[in-house]
Structure 1
Amino acid sequence: MQNVTQNSANVTGTRPAARVVAGHPSADGAGVKIHRVAGFQSADFSPFLMIDEIRSENPDDYIAGFPPHPHRGIETLTYMLSGEFEHKDHLGNRGAISQGGAQWMRAGRGIIHSEMPSQGESGMHGFQLWINMPAKDKMADPDWRDVQPEQVREVTLDEQGSMIRLIAGQWQVAGEPECAPLLDTSASAAVADLRLAAGAEIKLPLPAAHTVLVYIYRGVLDTGRGVVERGNLVLFGAGESVQLIAAEEMGALVLHGNPLNEPIAHYGPFVMNTREQIEQAVRDYNNGTLTD
Structure 2
Amino acid sequence: MVASPSFRRIERLIQSHPSQDGDGVHIQRIHRFDGELDPFLMLDELGSDRPDDYIGGFPPHPHRGIQTLTYIIHGGITHEDHLGHSSAIQAGGAQWMHTGRGIVHSEMPLTDSQGLHGFQLWLNLPAREKMSEPRYRDVRSGEMPRLKADKAELIALGGHWTSMAGDSIAGPLESLAGDGAVAHAQLKGGGELTLAAHSETLAVYVFEGTLQIGEETVAAGQLARLGAGDTLALASREGAQCLLLAGTPHREPIAHYGPFVMNHMHEIDQALRDYRNGSFTD
The alignment's TM-score, normalised by the length of structure 2, stands at 0.96
Per the alignment, residue 182 of structure 2 pairs with 191
Report whether the alignment pairs 1:266 with 2:273.
Answer: no
**Distance (Å, rounded) in 2 between the aligned partners of 1:25 and 1:52:** 10
Per the alignment, residue 114 of structure 1 pairs with 106
**Distance (Å, rounded) in 2 between the aligned partners of 1:168 and 1:26:** 27
Amino acid at match of 1:77: L
SS in 2 for 1:219: strand
Query: Does 176-185 or 62-71 show the bigger shift?
Result: 176-185
Report whether the alignment pairs 1:50 with 2:42.
Answer: yes
The alignment's TM-score, normalised by the length of structure 1, stands at 0.92
1:153-232 matches, cutoff 5 A? 153-158=145-150, 160=151, 162-173=152-163, 174-208=165-199, 210-232=200-222
Report whether the alignment pairs 1:92 with 2:69.
Answer: no
**Distance (Å, rounded) in 1 between the aligned partners of 2:5 and 2:210:** 27
Q: 1:64 to 1:19 in 2, by over 3 A?
A: same
Amino acid at match of 1:34: I
Report whether the alignment pairs 1:255 with 2:245.
Answer: yes
Return the offset for 1:280: 0.6
SS in 2 for 1:281: helix
Q: 1:119 to 1:195 in 2, by over 3 A?
A: closer
**Distance (Å, rounded) in 2 between the aligned partners of 1:122 and 1:226:** 31
**Distance (Å, rounded) in 2 between the aligned partners of 1:147 and 1:170:** 16
**Distance (Å, rounded) in 2 between the aligned partners of 1:225 and 1:138:** 40
Q: Percent identity?
A: 47
Per the alignment, residue 18 of structure 1 pairs with 11
Amino acid at match of 2:269: E
Per the alignment, residue 4 of structure 1 pairs with none
Report whether the alignment pairs 1:279 with 2:269.
Answer: yes
Q: Is contact 1:17–1:225 with CA below 8 Å preserved after alignment?
A: no
Structure 2 unaligned blocks of 5 or more: none
SS in 2 for 1:283: helix
**Distance (Å, rounded) in 2 between the aligned partners of 1:54 and 1:113:** 18
Q: Is contact 2:101–2:131 with CA below 8 Å preserved after alignment?
A: yes
Return the offset for 1:221: 1.2
Query: Does 55-64 or 244-253 show the bigger shift?
Result: 244-253
SS in 1 for 2:207: strand
**Distance (Å, rounded) in 2 between the aligned partners of 1:120 and 1:251:** 20
Total equivalences in the alignment: 279
SS in 2 for 1:44: coil
* Residue 30 (structure 2) aligned to one of 37, 41, 56: 37
1:138-153 matches, cutoff 5 A? 138-153=130-145
Cα deviation, 1:20-56, whole Å, max 9, x if unaligned, reads: 0000000000000000011111x33000001000000
Quote the RMSD (CA, aligned, Å): 1.5
Q: Is contact 1:90–1:112 with CA below 8 Å preserved after alignment?
A: yes
SS in 2 for 1:198: coil
**Distance (Å, rounded) in 1 between the aligned partners of 2:232 and 2:249:** 17
SS in 2 for 1:220: strand
Stretches of 4+ moved more than 3 A in 1?
none
Return the offset for 1:269: 0.2
**Distance (Å, rounded) in 2 between the aligned partners of 1:224 and 1:206:** 14
Q: Is contact 2:147–2:155 with CA below 8 Å preserved after alignment?
A: yes
**Distance (Å, rounded) in 2 between the aligned partners of 1:224 and 1:238:** 13
Per the alignment, residue 3 of structure 1 pairs with none
Q: Is contact 1:63–1:119 with CA below 8 Å preserved after alignment?
A: no
**Distance (Å, rounded) in 2 between the aligned partners of 1:153 and 1:74:** 25
Q: Is contact 2:78–2:109 with CA below 8 Å preserved after alignment?
A: yes
